[in-house]
Every structure is written in structure tokens, then in C-alpha cells.
Amino acid sequence: MISEVIKRFIFITSAVLVFTYSAQAQLVNSGDLYVKEGAVLYSAFTLENQTTGRFINDGTLILKSDLTNNGLFGFSPNLSSGLTRLEGLSNQSISGSSEFQFWNLNLDNGQGFSLENNLRVFGSGEFNSGIVVSDPSDPVFGFGIGGISQNSSDESFVDGKVGTETDSDFFFPVGDEQFLRFLRAAPAAGGDNLNLHGRYFFEDPDGQYPRDQIDRNIRLIDDAEYWELENLNTGETPMALTLSWRDVTTPAFILGELNQMSIVSWDDAQQLWVSEGGVIDTNEQIITADVEFAGDGVFTLGILVGKTDLSIAKTSFGESIWEGDEFEYELTLQNNSQVVATDVVLVDNLPAGLEYISVEGESIFGLLDFEVEVIGQTVIIRIPEFIGGDEATFRLRVRASDPGRIINVAEVESFEEDENLEDNVDTDENEVKAFFIPNVITPNNDGFNDQFEIKGLNKFISNKITIFNRWGDTLLETDNYGNDWKGEGLVAGTYFYTLEVVEEDGSDQTFKGWIQIIRED
């Protein structure tokens, strides 16, 4: 073997130092070698930086063959410069026991690279040609803070583990076989920097992560690919995660239902796939979701059960309501989709001044099963399953105890995602009027003031009314008056009443007044 051993301190300045290729030759550094800014070191030999070697590249290093690092291989931090270009004519191995540190790294070898050692790029990692394939030791093609990957494609990416320490959005140039299948991750606003390892597998996850073990809002799991992420931070780290899809790797059953696509993750505690949701960009062929996990995370694409479209409408029909009156709200619930809505929860928040009495309900399809729970002023109606296209009507009976404006809000939701949340809430406004005793009746059967009707009489536990004429003769005396006296057989004129009531607290009260009967001639 022909060796060129560098044992002394060497500066390469503005010159171009060329080591030409000869069979089995190699360039060995066991001392200090510094490639200064503006200088170029070109070698067709295998480059070995031994355990005692210190290789600092602030200029340009062009390598046509393998490289091994067992010592210190890096750049001057105060300069943050240096370009290493790997552009051999046959597969190049990147090996050794000590991490390579590059400022800029340019990969341009169509025959590819064998990664057998960790490396980190702090500037730009440029993927022009050649796939980087990791060996079974699982080394990391890493990027430091501020490091970025550029130009990756099917011709050049990392078939293995990519690492990053980043405070911004990072593009993982990962793939498998001949396909780039990148992912992206960005720290949550105000969150910690990311410290991640990520890789892509062009294979069915079912062997390790069974696809039939799914949360109930998931219908299908991608059976051809998945990504693994390792969070090296302590505890859970929130981030925005972006996955991509491609027609050459992603199954047709996923691509055919993009509107139902979701990022899904394997929940190791529950041993099932769960949905992370996601915002879809069909132009870029990506989906992004906010995720949070500690340790290892496994992600792929899934198809959710179809979205529901629930709506709620509430009315008291503008009914005139008086203190003590019982009346009904009508709540109309519709499932405007063809998807069965499960775990439907309809919540009606009764305002102060209304007392709950009962709920009755029925649906068009006649298959309505529901339970009612009342917590304070909140009425909760739970429906296990609400069939697509069905309509249910609930009659919520209440009692008005206090006068004043009543604003009643009802809202509905289900376990499934809803296509249109704008119609999931409705409000009814009405007024409870105060207790009122009229002093005029016009019994002419026109439907207005035909009888002596005391508004809000129901607010009392019991009542007794006595009506008499000016001479004291009793014309009507009855307990729990039914608001039905019309002055039958009496001439127009003025009459008098005494109303004795028992309040809810058990106290007595008496009202006295007059009634004028007006009859048309």
C-alpha cells in the first residue's frame, strides 16, 4: 500500500494541494492539518484522520474516495466556513469512530455513499446526487443548530437516520430505496428547541404496529410506509409535524380520500393508532398537525371515519311567558351527513330564573336512544349513536320562576369531526313577564280579554279568589282559580275581587282590586 502520512503541523493557504490517485493509495493524517479559507485540498486517495489527527477545514476539501475519522475533524467555529465536496466515481464510505463535523457538505456522487459513522452539518448539506445508505450500526446524518438540507430528491437523500438540533422549521431529507419521503418538524411557538432523530420506512408498519388496532375515529392506516421520530429532549416536546405523500409510495386508498386524511401516531400505552388531525395542502402534497410526544414516536397517514355535520335549532316560539308559567323549548337536532355520529352530547344551558322539569324526545327514524343528566342549570342530553340523515326533536319543559330577559344557549358536538361548526350552536331569547292582574275584560268571544286572566298566577303554591258586586254579594268564590271567569249574566259595570295566595316560602298575601266589564251595545 502506498501511504502519504502527514505527521507535522501543515497549513494549506491559497495554494491548491493535489493528491493524485494511484492504486491502493491513501492520505493519512496523524497530526494537525489546517485548510485555510480560500485554499483547496483535492485528493483522489482514501482519507484517514487518525486518533491523533486534527483536521480543520475552513477552505475547500474535495474527496474522490472514502473517508475515515478517528480523531478531530471539523472547522474553526469563529470562521464558520469550509466546504467539503464528496464526488467520487464509485460508492464512497464515511466511517470511523469519531464524529465528522462539517460546515458545508456537498454530496455529488451518483454511485452513492455508505454511512458508517456519525456526522453533523452546521451550515448547508447539499444533496446533488447519490443516496446515503446507513449501515446496521445506525449512524446519524446530523445537522447542528442552523444547519439546513437542500436539493434532496429521489437521486439524493438519506436512507437512514437524520438528526437535527433546531430552533426553526427543519426539513428531513429521508427516504427509502429510491424514493425521497421527507418529513418536516418545527418547534411550537414559545416552545423548546427540537432535538430529533427521524427516518422513513418504505414498508408495512403492521409487523410492529398492527394496523387493525385503531381508535374508533380511524378507518384505514397506510399499509406501505411510516416514519419514526426520536425525541432526545427530556419530557414531551410540542411541535408542528409535516408528513408528505406520493403516488409512487402512498397507497391509492389513502390518496383517494385526501379530505379524510389525518396524521396518525402509534400510542404505545394504548397499543393502538390514534389521530393527530392535520391541515392538508394538496398543492404541496403535505399534511401538518400539532403533536407532542416523549421518547420514540411512530407516524404515518390514515383515513378517518367520515365527518359528521350536526346542527341544532332551538325555539320557544316567542310564547308569552309569565312568572310561574310552565312552557317548552323545542330543540331540533339534525345529522346532515351520511355518517353515524357517536357520543353525541347536546348541552342546554338554562338561564337563571328557569327550573328544569323534563325532557321528551323522538326522531324521524324512530331509533333514538338518549339519557338526560341535569347539573345545576345545565341539561345534558347524551346520544350514543345518531344515524346519518336523522332528525330528532326534544321538548324541554321548564318553569319560569323570576321575571326578566331569558337568553338560552344550546350546543351539540359528537366524537367525530364536524364539517360545519357554525350551526352547532343556537340561541333563543324571550322574556318572563311579572305577575299582573288586569282590571278590564271584554267578554265578546273575540279571543282578547274575554275572561279575567291573572298573568303569573302559577307562581303561587295555592290561591283563592272571591269576586263580588258593589253591594257585597259574592259572584264567584273558588280555590286555585283557573283564569276562566267571564262575568256570565252580568251587566257592564265595575266589580271587585279579593285574591288570597300562598307564596313558595309558605307566607300569605292578599291582593284587592276592581274589574270593569265592558260589553258592546
Q: Please state, rounded to an integer, the average pLDDT across all residues of the chain.
A: 91
Picking from 146-160, 297-311, 364-378, 451-465, which range would have the lowest pLDDT averaged per residue? Answer: 451-465
In angstroms, the Cα distances linking 209 to 77, 229, 261, 271, 274 are 43, 15, 19, 8, 12
Residue-level pLDDT at 254: 96
Maximum distance among all alpha carbons in the chain? Answer: 140
Residue-level pLDDT at 2: 35
Residue-level pLDDT at 213: 97
Residue-level pLDDT at 23: 47
Query: Taking 60 as the threshold, does the pLDDT of residue 15 lie above it?
Result: no
Express each pLDDT in 376-419 by its tens digit: 999 999 999 999 999 999 999 999 988 899 999 999 999 888 98
Query: Taking 90 as the threshold, does the pLDDT of residue 8 lie above it?
Result: no
For residues 493 and 516, the answer to whether their CB atoms sit within 8 Å is: yes
Picking from 25-29, 252-256, 488-492, which range would have the lowest pLDDT averaged per residue? Answer: 25-29
Query: Taking 50 as the threshold, does the pLDDT of residue 246 lie above it?
Result: yes
Residue-level pLDDT at 437: 87
Structure pTM? 0.69
Express each pLDDT in 75-92 by its tens digit: 998 888 899 999 988 999
Strands 26-29 and 46-49: parallel
Cα end-to-end span (Å), the chain: 135
Residue-level pLDDT at 324: 84
Q: What three-state secondary structure class fits 423?
A: helix
26 vs 210: which has the higher pLDDT? 210
Domains of the chain: 310-433 (2.60.40.680), 440-517 (2.60.40)
Region 141-152: what's the mean pLDDT?
A: 96
For residues 289 and 276, the answer to whether their CB atoms sit within 8 Å is: yes
* Burial bucket for residue 256 (CB in 10 Å: 0-12, 13-18, 19+): exposed
Region 50-72: what's the mean pLDDT?
A: 96
Region 12-33: what's the mean pLDDT?
A: 64
Express each pLDDT in 317-346 by its tens digit: 988 888 888 999 999 999 999 888 999 999
Share of the chain above pLDDT 90, in %: 78
221: cell is 392506516
Starting at the edge strand found earlier in the chain, the sheet holding 493-502 runs 440-441, 508-517, 493-502, 462-468, 474-479
How many other C-beta atoms lie within 10 A of the C-beta of residue 83? 21
Q: What three-state secondary structure class fits 366?
A: coil
* Burial bucket for residue 484 (CB in 10 Å: 0-12, 13-18, 19+): exposed
Give the model's confidence band at 21: pLDDT under 50 very low, under 70 low, under 90 confident, else very high: very low
